[in-house]
């Protein structure tokens, strides 16, 4: 399935008073890595693929992580994101975060493809065949 690598330089504001990345910030990094992966798969920026596919977004409905080693201000980390499964209207993502070439975090996400209903609410929608084809490719 499709995968992509994203590099992140840890900023001072990403860290807690102990000088390590405050754990919720990793989920922000993973959210950005998911968007970067889909942008690479679709060959367009997120704002364009949202319009192109006519969706409201890809909200996360399940997530989790296993923290192995911390990162600190100034570290450059690499996040390898890959599609793990494709459902009717959802898809799974695995993130492997590396620091100095060693696995530091393993994380997972379940995302849902959603559209906006006439009343403004969001609802799941089937993954389009084009999306399914692009995310099934091995990069």
pLDDT, one tens digit for every residue, the chain (139 residues): 999 999 999 999 999 999 999 999 999 999 999 999 999 999 999 999 999 999 999 999 999 999 999 999 999 999 999 999 999 999 999 999 999 999 999 999 999 999 999 999 999 999 999 999 999 998 6
The SS3 of residue 138 is coil
Strand 122-124 relative to strand 114-116, pairing: antiparallel
Domain definitions of the chain by residue range: 3-136
Closest listed residue to residue 14, CA positions, set 67, 75, 63: 75
Name the active-site residue from 14, 16, 62, 133: 16
**Which residues have C-beta within 8 Å of that of residue 114, sequence separation ≥ 6?**
55, 56, 57, 58, 59, 89, 122, 123, 124, 125
Q: What is the pLDDT of residue 138?
A: 82
Q: What is the pLDDT of residue 139?
A: 65
Hey, what CATH topology would domain 3-136 get? Thiol Ester Dehydrase; Chain A (3.10.129)
Q: For this structure, is 85 an active site residue?
A: no
Q: What is the pLDDT of residue 8?
A: 97
């Amino acid at each position: 399935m499709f995968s992509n690598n994203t590099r992140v330089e840890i900023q001072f504001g990403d860290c807690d008073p102990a000088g390590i990345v405050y754990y919720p910030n990793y989920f922000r990094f993973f959210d950005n890595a998911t968007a970067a992966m889909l942008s690479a798969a679709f060959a367009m920026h997120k704002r364009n693929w949202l319009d192109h596919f006519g969706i409201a977004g890809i909200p996360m409905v399940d997530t989790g992580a296993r923290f192995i080693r911390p990162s600190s201000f100034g570290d450059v980390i690499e996040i390898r994101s890959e599609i793990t499964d494709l459902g009717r209207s959802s898809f799974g993502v695995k993130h492997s975060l590396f620091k100095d070439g060693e696995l530091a975090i393993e994380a997972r996400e379940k995302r849902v493809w959603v559209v906006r209903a006439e009343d403004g609410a969001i609802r799941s929608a089937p993954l389009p065949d084009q999306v399914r084809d692009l995310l099934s490719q091995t990069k």
